[in-house]
Amino acid sequence: MSILNALYVSRRPAAAFVVIGLFWGCFAAHVPVLKAQLGASDAVFGVLLLGSATGLVSAMWVAPRADRLLGARSMQVGVVLLSLAWLLPGTITVPLVFAVTMALVGLASGLLDVVMNARVSELEAEHDRPLMNANHAMFSAAYAVGALLTANTREMGIPPAYVFAGLGVVSVVMARFMRMEPVHVSAEDGYTGGYPIWPIALCGAIVLVAFMSEAATEAWSALHVERTLGGGAAEGALGPAMLGFTMAIGRFSGQVVAARLREVTVVMGAAVLSAIGAVIAAMAPTPLVAYVGFGILGLGVSVIGPMGLALVGKLVAPHLRTEAISRVAVIGFSGFFFAPMLVGFMSEAFGLRIAFVAVAILLLLAVPLALSAARLPFHIAAKGGAVKA
């Protein structure tokens, strides 16, 4: 299946990936502004972002129930809630209130994320084709566009609140095209398997490693370029923009690779490549070298998360797929909020160079996790059996 065909088949959830990407790209490029607006140190700002993790973890429990209740309108409602939630952080100057607003953002983002990933997995099962990488590539491309857009608005002095509001209007307009009926699957006759704890735990850990690394780079790359390497505001915004563009390239390429190689093989190779990129960015003497590092990191890390989400869809019974993906997605996406906090503490204590070396070490953890997942049996409903990864 070609990339364009894959995107056409999954066009409705792909639009939701675009919405989330635009908002988070905008946020990443606004980090220096929001941090200065709050008057927070690196460590304090990292702790404030932990508020988002609270909302995201809540989404793990709420999303499957909300999806059953809202049905075909789940993604539409998620986009509206996310657009409303993003109206708040850019207007706040009190740190504690900012943490509360980010918790609301995390909840709305988590709800939409779980639903759109579940829809993609349902489409993968229906069409027997890999679709996850192409959809995550749309997130990355939109993320890069959001970061570049913010680079321009920052240079023009436009406040963050106005930028988030403008994206909200665009997103709500896009939501009208996201109505999609969920696929309800009953348990197979004679199914005796237990709850898939190990597939969820291992795939969740793989996705967590990927998204923690991605989040750390998104949240702190602009500050690394501006503060450590002496770049300007536009140069700083190019850090997350470079990550977004190369992740989009990596994920579109991953759409092709996924049809030819095992998920486990791709995850291990990508982990090593992205770790090399993180080290280059950490040791960079100039912004240009840092961009090269962020680019290599983006190419590698881009496919790890989508592969982990696709993998759990194959490791569990079809009637458990949506719930399993919701658990893995939220475990993984909690990394978007825990990682900035941890990097904030490391930056406060040792500087951002050491923090990015730690990101490289984190990425290498995906290798043993992938090897462990490879020992689990794949569940193939159509054949009534299982195969090894």
Cα pseudo-dihedral 137, 142, 144, 145, rounded to 10:
150
> Highest-confidence range of 185-194, 311-320, 375-384, by mean pLDDT?
311-320
Of the candidates 214, 201, 198, 220, the residue with the CA atom closest to the CA atom of residue 304? 214
Is residue 141 within 8 Å of 149, Cβ to Cβ?
no
Judged against a pLDDT cut of 60, whether residue 382 lies above it is answered with: no
361 residue type, one letter: I
Backbone angles phi, psi at 174, to 5 degrees: -65, -30
**How much is the pLDDT for 193?**
61
Of the candidates 294, 227, 167, 291, the residue with the CA atom closest to the CA atom of residue 45? 227
**How much is the pLDDT for 11?**
92
Query: How far, rounded to the nearest angstrom, does the alpha carbon of residue 157 sit from its chain's CA centroid?
Result: 28
Judged against a pLDDT cut of 90, whether residue 278 lies above it is answered with: yes
Least confident of 220-229, 288-297, 320-329: 320-329
Is residue 45 within 8 Å of 36, Cβ to Cβ?
no
Q: What would the pLDDT profile of 109-156 be if each residue is shown by its tens digit?
A: 988 988 898 888 788 878 878 788 888 889 888 988 888 888 889 888
Judged against a pLDDT cut of 60, whether residue 321 lies above it is answered with: yes
Higher pLDDT, 115 or 194: 115
CA distance 342 to 344: 5
**How much is the pLDDT for 389?**
41
Mean pLDDT of the chain: 84
**How much is the pLDDT for 190?**
56
- Secondary structure string (H, E, C) spanning the chain: CCHHHHHHHCHHHHHHHHHHHHHHHHHHHHHHHHHHHHCCCHHHHHHHHHHHHHHHHHHHHHHHHHHHHHHHHHHHHHHHHHHHHCCCHHHCCCHHHHHHHHHHHHHHHHHHHHHHHHHHHHHHHHHCCCCHHHHHHHHHHHHHHHHHHHHHHHHCCCCHHHHHHHHHHHHHHHHCCCCCCCCCCCCCCCCCCCCCHHHHHHHHHHHHHHHHHHHHHHHHHHHHHHHHCCCCHHHHHHHHHHHHHHHHHHHHHHHHHCCCCCHHHHHHHHHHHHHHHHHHHHHCCCHHHHHHHHHHHHHHHCCHHHHHHHHHHHHCCHHHHHHHHHHHHHHHHCHHHHHHHHHHHHHHHHCHHHHHHHHHHHHHCHHHHHHHHCCCEEEECCCCEEEEC
- pTM, 2 dp: 0.73
Judged against a pLDDT cut of 70, whether residue 341 lies above it is answered with: yes
212 residue type, one letter: M
Of the candidates 321, 310, 301, 208, the residue with the CA atom closest to the CA atom of residue 259? 310
**How much is the pLDDT for 105?**
92
The count of other CB atoms within 10 Å of the CB of residue 256 is: 16
Burial classification of residue 175, based on how many CB atoms lie within 10 Å of its CB (0-12 exposed, 13-18 middle, 19 or more buried): buried
CA distance 216 to 355: 9
Judged against a pLDDT cut of 70, whether residue 378 lies above it is answered with: no
93 residue type, one letter: T
Judged against a pLDDT cut of 50, whether residue 87 lies above it is answered with: yes
What are the angstrom distances between the C-alpha of 223 and each of 228, 340, 344? 7, 12, 11
Cα 247–251–336 angle (5° rounding)? 55
Residues forming a β-bridge with 377: 388
**How much is the pLDDT for 22?**
93
**How much is the pLDDT for 260?**
76
Judged against a pLDDT cut of 50, whether residue 385 lies above it is answered with: no
Cα 180–246–2 angle (5° rounding)? 50
Confidence band for 104, pLDDT divided at 50, 70 and 90: very high
Judged against a pLDDT cut of 70, whether residue 184 lies above it is answered with: no
**How much is the pLDDT for 386?**
42
Is residue 131 within 8 Å of 123, Cβ to Cβ?
yes
**How much is the pLDDT for 157?**
87
Is residue 219 within 8 Å of 29, Cβ to Cβ?
no
**How much is the pLDDT for 85?**
95
Q: What would the pLDDT profile of 248-257 be if each residue is shown by its tens digit?
A: 888 888 777 7
